[in-house]
Amino acid sequence: MRKYDHLFFDLDNTLWDFDTNSKLAMFETLKQSEVLRRLPSFEQFFEIYEPINQTLWDEYHAKRITKQALIVERFSQSFQYFGISGLNWAELNSLYLTNMAFQTRLFPGTIETLTSLKLKGYKMHIITNGFIEVQHDKLKNCGLDGFFSKVFISEEIQTTKPHRQIFEHALKSTNARKNKSIMIGDSWETDIVGAQNFGIDQIVFLNHGSNRLPVDIKSIRTTPTNSFLELSPRTKTWFIDELKDLIAIL
């Protein structure tokens, strides 16, 4: 008898290769808006943009800034570094999200793994903090939409991971029980800690070390062959380097 019935996946940087796709989309955006020629190079711009964007997303997840602030500040702060101001940041962001939806790079083994899990009868769903304008199109354009029964987008539910309300909403909407559900994601802070606090098991997608673990967790997980840790009395935390490793757990 299998342990889980419902699999809740993160999308960005778990199935959909956000780092690669976002960089491709940004290059197209700057080229199409004709602002690229005003920069010393695209690579220099992206090196400045990435940490600014990540910091703002952390603030958004913590509900300390609004979506509109994130949209404006990630572009205004990045371009300010190069002495560029006065652009229509909302329009630039809209073009960027449009370009994002057409990027289709997935992590190796994504389609094959999801196909196998679907054939085994698992009910699969998405829980994502991404923006509503682009997440459904991303799923459709890269061929993932047919695998998932429900897609839960933080903006629609008006709360983000790691807050328990989004997990509670997802389980209620799918009639899933906690002890028969598991969360699969790349972000320790949003996917894993959020699911731990809510009381469901989790699988951390490490992508061969590209997705970081907290130092204290690394010290507990003494060897790369440790399959899981029991970090709380209620839940189990599994670790995988590749998506195909899900088959051995589920």
Q: Give 33: exposed, middle or buried? Use CB within 10 Å, 0-12, 13-18, 19+.
A: middle
Determine contact, residues 122/250, Cβ cutoff 8 Å: yes
Distance (Å, rounded) from C-alpha 35 to C-alpha 29? 9
Q: Is residue 186 flagged as an active site residue?
A: no
Question: What is the SS3 assignment for 249?
Answer: helix
Distance (Å, rounded) from C-alpha 57 to C-alpha 248? 33
Query: For the sheet containing 237-240, what is the strand order?
Result: 150-153, 123-128, 6-9, 181-185, 201-205, 237-240, 228-229
Distance (Å, rounded) from C-alpha 115 to C-alpha 236? 25
| Closest listed residue to residue 168, CA positions, set 196, 126, 201, 198 | 198
Expressed in percent and rounded to 5, the helix, strand and coil fractions of the chain are 50, 15, 35
**Max CA distance (Å), the chain:** 61
Say how far residue 232 (Cα) sits from the centre of its chain. Answer: 24
Q: Is residue 245 flagged as an active site residue?
A: no
Catalytic residues: 10, 12
